[in-house]
Amino acid sequence: MSDDIYREIILDHYRNPRNKGKLENADVTVHDSNPLCGDEIDIHLKVDEGVIRDVKFEGKGCAISQASASMLTELVMGKDLDVVKDLKKEDILENIGLTNLGPARIKCALLSLKVLKVGMVKYYSENDPKSAEQIKNESSLY
């Protein structure tokens, strides 16, 4: 796809975010921000039998951070946590179509994945400490 199509997709997710809002009775809620640019993301997860049954995000920030969060929620909805825990930064950058971002913009694009991984560590810490450690050790995002 051309860069113009990816820009259109990012703008569409920014203007019309999917799965945006607060999830009542979430099993996990995590917040993080990028202090360099002010982007903020909260991710709420409802997990049932190891599967993400529902996911919502709240946030504010640039088009890339908010679109990336919207796209990430679509990517992980209904997926098994064992699959989601293996997501890498390259998967997210490819998903949003931006593989050649500068260092500051990469942090914008990956903030939602960082928050999701922290949420998964939080979830696994209570349910499967070995997996929590694995995610911590493998989650070098930047």
d(CA 10, CA 6): 6
What value does the mean pLDDT of the chain take? Answer: 90
Mean per-residue pLDDT, 3-31 = 92
Closest CA to 79 of 34, 120, 35: 120
- Burial class of residue 44 in the structure, from the number of CB atoms within 10 Å of its CB (0-12 exposed, 13-18 middle, 19+ buried): buried
d(CA 12, CA 30): 25
- pTM greater than the 0.85 cutoff: yes
Lowest mean pLDDT: which of 5-9, 13-17, 30-34, 55-59? 5-9
Q: Do residues 25 and 46 make contact, with C-beta atoms less than 8 angstroms apart?
A: yes
Q: What is the per-residue pLDDT across 105-125, written as a single tens digit (0 to 9) for each?
A: 899 999 999 999 999 999 888
Domain limits for position 74: 3-138
Mean per-residue pLDDT, 5-20 = 92
* 140 pLDDT above the threshold of 70: no
Query: For residue 14, what pLDDT band results from cuts at 50, 70 and 90?
Result: very high
Could you please report the per-residue DSSP string of 94-117? HHHT--S--HHHHHHHHHHHHHHH
Helices (H), 1-142: 3-15, 63-76, 81-84, 89-96, 103-127, 129-138
Q: What is the per-residue pLDDT across 69-95, written as a single tens digit (0 to 9) for each?
A: 999 999 999 999 989 989 999 999 988
Q: Look at residue 139 in the predicted model and tell me its pLDDT.
A: 67
For residue 129, what is the domain's CATH number?
A: 3.90.1010.10
Q: Look at residue 84 in the predicted model and tell me its pLDDT.
A: 93
Query: For residue 133, what pLDDT band results from cuts at 50, 70 and 90?
Result: confident
The number of distinct structural domains making up the chain is 1
3-state SS assignment for residue 33? strand
Q: Do residues 135 and 122 make contact, with C-beta atoms less than 8 angstroms apart?
A: no
- Burial class of residue 96 in the structure, from the number of CB atoms within 10 Å of its CB (0-12 exposed, 13-18 middle, 19+ buried): buried
Query: For residue 132, what pLDDT band results from cuts at 50, 70 and 90?
Result: confident
